[in-house]
Amino acid sequence: MLVFYPSDIYLDKNKVIRFLGYKQGNEPNKRIINIIDTEVEHARSLIEPKGIYEILDARKIKEKRFEDADKIALAVVTIGNKLEKEVQDMFRQGENTRALVLDAVGSVATEETANIINRKINKKSEKEGYKTTRRFSPGYGNWKMGGQTLIFKNIKDIEKKLGVVLLSSKIMEPIKSTSFVIKIGRNTMKEMTTDQCKNCHLKEDCLRDRNTPLCSVAM
């Protein structure tokens, strides 16, 4: 298990703005910017970022989508439930705007925690002479939420180590948690190409950070 300090997590305010639904050219007003600044600092006292991952032989995973990989990295990350509870309290107190902003900050913190694990997997794989794909998660693209079972089955003691529980609905608790896989191989794998981005129907609203290997429709 990897545990990070809140200061390890880069809370990019531009990403918070994006998670709030603002598109490029439609910037929030000064009041919202001030709230974002406040809640970014507030979040640092609430987040408890940590993650866990396992790298398995792809032959052990009997799914067609993994056939062109040599190994599979499975990961789960979370920022805990303190921020989530604070958001709920804010809504109850009628602080709706602050609650929405803090929730967006939590989403950014969760993604950045995943980015750190992602980079560790990439660095380890590259050192061993392997290539890696972009990461992808159950429930995105054509990979159904049932993929969560695969991840939780193959990573030991997720609940004990992270405090993350997989519900019967395949949703994780705490809510600000995410799971993903990365394919690892000696040769090029289909998710390594960006050709599919050219004609993607989600291109205009894509939440993929162009500086990280993340794509919600990679599969």
Q: Is 72 exposed, middle or buried (0-12, 13-18, 19+ CB in 10 A)?
A: buried
pLDDT grade, residue 196 (50/70/90)?
A: low
pLDDT > 70: what percent of the chain?
85
What does the domain layout of the chain look like in residue ranges? 2-205
pLDDT digit string, tens, across residues 20-52:
999 878 889 999 999 999 999 999 999 999 999
At residue 181, the pLDDT reads 93
At residue 219, the pLDDT reads 37
Greatest mean pLDDT range, 6-15, 79-88, 191-200: 79-88
For CA atoms 179, 142, 205, 99, the dihedral sign is: negative
Give the global pTM: 0.86
Give the 3-state secondary structure of 144-209.
CCCHHHHHHHHCCCHHHHHCCEECCCCCEECCCEEEEEEEEECCCCHHHCCHHHCCCCCHHHCCCC
How large is the average pLDDT for residues 62-67? 83
CATH number of 2-205: 3.40.109.40
At residue 61, the pLDDT reads 85
Q: How far apart are CA 142 and CA 190, in angstroms?
A: 14
Q: What is the mean pLDDT of the chain?
A: 87
pLDDT digit string, tens, across residues 136-175:
898 877 788 989 999 999 999 999 999 999 999 999 999 9
Helix (H, G, I), strand (E, B) or coil at 1: coil
- State which H helix or E strand residue 132 sits in: strand 131-132
Q: How far apart are CA 193 and CA 94, in angstroms?
A: 46
Which residue, among 100, 66, 106, 54, has the nearest Cα to 83 in the 3D structure? 106
